Amino acid sequence: MLNFDYLNNLNEKQKEAVTYLNGPLLIVAGAGSGKTKVLTSRISHIITSGKASTNEVLAVTFTNKAANEMLSRVLVNLKKKKFGMPWIGTFHSICVKILRKHARAADLNYNFTIVDQEDQKKLIKNICKSENIDTKKISPNYILNIIEKWKNKGWYPKDVVLKKSERLESSFLKIYEIYQKKLLDLNACDFNDLILHCIKIFEGNPDITKMYSKNFKYILVDEYQDTNFIQSKWLNLLSQENKNICCVGDDDQSIYSWRGAEIKNFLEFDKIYENTKIIRLEKNYRSTQNILSVASSLISNNENRVGKTLFTDGEEGESVYLDSYRSGKDEAIGVGEKIEKFKSKFKLNNISILVRAIFQTREFEERFLKIGLPYRIIGGTKFYERAEIKDCIAYLRIVNQPRDDLSLERIINVPKRSIGETSIKSMYDYAKKNNYSLEESAKKMIELNLIKPKTKLGLNSILSLLDKWRFDLRKKINQVKLLQIILDESGYSQMLKDKKDLENENRIENIKELLNAMKEFDNLESFLEHVALATSIDQDWEGQKVNLMTMHSSKGLEFDVVFLPGWEEGLFPHQKSMEEKGQSGLEEERRLAYVGITRAKKVAFISFSMNRFYQGDWIDSISSRFIDELPEKNLEKNNQFMQDENDEFDFNQDIDYESEIKSPGWLRYQKRIKS
């Protein structure tokens, strides 16, 4: 007698999704609707009902963690201790298996090497060197990102299609050609080749495609909204024979277009696969009804979606709090005070602050350090530990204190000045021998002609700049202006602007936020003292900590209490996203807001600031258009930290958004770009 115990704890829609086994199926699984349970129960049902053996089920995830969890849950469902399912894994792990068996068809040997990111960078650097391309101006990372973008579209070098506007990218095509040839010469491939080569094998060898397609009687895909073009194509080829492909995901949580994810794979699933059945999982097991109503109302403003409305049988819960603050600093104080009050009711681990951009963590970190509130940064580094911030601090420290050898060592060759490790070691040795500081040692060695000509040139440059900046400091130039001068004259700002790197935008934003922080201090000494104390505080408090992270990093997580600060035009929705991607960019920003809200189980706070301090100026902020899209009946609105009634924000004011894309925050962000 068949055992279907795993069906007992499913609601009607979940049960329907598990037991429907005849043809293509799209499961639209809302946040907190139990999609993993459905997916694993479906695998269990396929095997238990004899529809397919363990070898005939292909289950694809995006992470090894998700694949392992899937397998362990299936084991529990089937009441087995050990169980072999060879085709449960990530896209890449499954492709490796296929590629090892058919390597010759991809011009490789079966024992090919998979190169890691470091190897890829080395390879690109070598190619750039041979092609006389300056890697100081164009980062190997940037070139690799472009190559990855092409591979995600299924393009080998011969297939690349470029627009006239992509002149810079066209110069990388030759690098791509050489890169692919070198990989083949080395009997190697990179991560993205694994799927690309599989496609090549399938398209060039119909018999191989048919063999796998016949074998996989059922195909299941998790987080389908995050798939790119080539992953979708790969799935399509493998599902040709049996047509039993089941994709699970949530189009409203599609937030990774910058990584190549294509939401149209999800939206057009029923066009790609004939006779598709669509089942919506709308019952939520995570959040209160008020939180769900706010999230549903917001996301309903998106046009490109399959459509669903989340509900719960649980409690209505507290209203979602909408708070306005006078300034970003007040916002950090207010959030800190609320967390202090929550400490007795909720564990700190279950409280999270979700920001749109990583530079926003600074004000919260400063406040939490001041009041002794333990915190952690998820998916990133604490503000004063970020490399570009440490570089800036090192520049300021060596200007302020000429004997600060560690600071000088950090920045002496940043940007590159032909001062290598060997030269620095010889300067240290000379300093130790003569009881000099590192700077004194360098000056003396130049004087005695103990330095190589090329290194001497770089050393003279930085040493004369240090003298000049110390003169600026003596002239009582304020610390904000001084850092701007240092960044400009050292070439650091230009290095960040020139170096085409996807992470550089964050680095620049972080430095601008540092300039904000410095304005709050009377002089350079007091600021450096503050940084020293902030970084020396034992931040590895044991036990419970508040979580600080971006909304992108929060996907898949849940917390009792969620704070969503900085809901202001230009910041959220982010101006750059709207400028680059127009309406689709605005819709993705709205999906990001939806993800943020649906992380909350019990309490959610949305807030914005009426003013932001930016590089020495107070700039008027405009509340996010997303705030106007929240349902009044599910909100509790509060003006916080207002000095007088004239300072209060009118929640009922009618803000005229100039267009769908260009926001009233435009001037503010233009100022950012130009500075």
Confidence of residue 563 (pLDDT cuts 50, 70, 90): very high
pLDDT at position 669: 43
Nearest to 476 by CA among 439, 520, 513, 525: 525
Indicate which residue of 120, 231, 253, 360 is catalytic. 253
- pLDDT tens track for 247-266: 999 999 999 998 899 999 99
Angle at CA 258, nearest 5°, toward 552 and 150? Answer: 145
Is the pLDDT at 90 greater than 50? The verdict is: yes
Instruction: Give the pairing type, strands 546-550 and 320-325.
Output: unpaired
Is the pLDDT at 660 greater than 50? The verdict is: no
Indicate which residue of 599, 601, 625, 668 is catalytic. 599
Question: What is the rounded CA–CA span in Å between residue 5 and residue 597?
Answer: 34
Q: Could you confirm whether 599 is annotated as catalytic?
A: yes
Distances (CA, A) of 192 to 106, 199, 227: 14, 11, 13
Question: What is the rounded CA–CA span in Å between residue 675 and residue 672?
Answer: 5
Question: What is the rounded CA–CA span in Å between residue 599 and residue 603?
Answer: 10
pLDDT at position 497: 83
Token pair for 50: 């004899």
pLDDT: is 83 or 598 the higher one?
598
Helix or strand (DSSP H, E) at 606:
strand 600-609
pLDDT at position 162: 85
Q: Could you confirm whether 575 is annotated as catalytic?
A: no
Indicate which residue of 190, 193, 223, 226 is catalytic. 223
Q: Could you confirm whether 286 is annotated as catalytic?
A: no
Token pair for 546: 């508040």
Is the pLDDT at 484 greater than 60? The verdict is: yes
Distances (CA, A) of 565 to 72, 356, 514, 585, 607: 38, 8, 19, 20, 5
Question: What is the rounded CA–CA span in Å between residue 584 and residue 267?
Answer: 13
Is the pLDDT at 332 greater than 50? The verdict is: yes
Q: Could you confirm whether 36 is annotated as catalytic?
A: yes
Q: What's the mean pLDDT in 388-414? A: 93
Is the separation of the CB atoms in 222 and 61 below 8 Å? yes
Look up residue 284 and give its amino acid.
N
How many residues make up the chain in this entry?
675
3-class SS at 79?
A: coil
Indicate which residue of 190, 193, 222, 388 is catalytic. 222
pLDDT at position 516: 87
Is the pLDDT at 531 greater than 70? The verdict is: yes
Q: Could you confirm whether 643 is annotated as catalytic?
A: no
Q: How many CA atoms lie within 13 A of 612 on its CB side?
A: 25
Look up residue 471 and give its amino acid.
F
Nearest to 12 by CA among 311, 280, 246: 280
pTM value is 0.88
* Residues facing residue 136 across a β-bridge: none
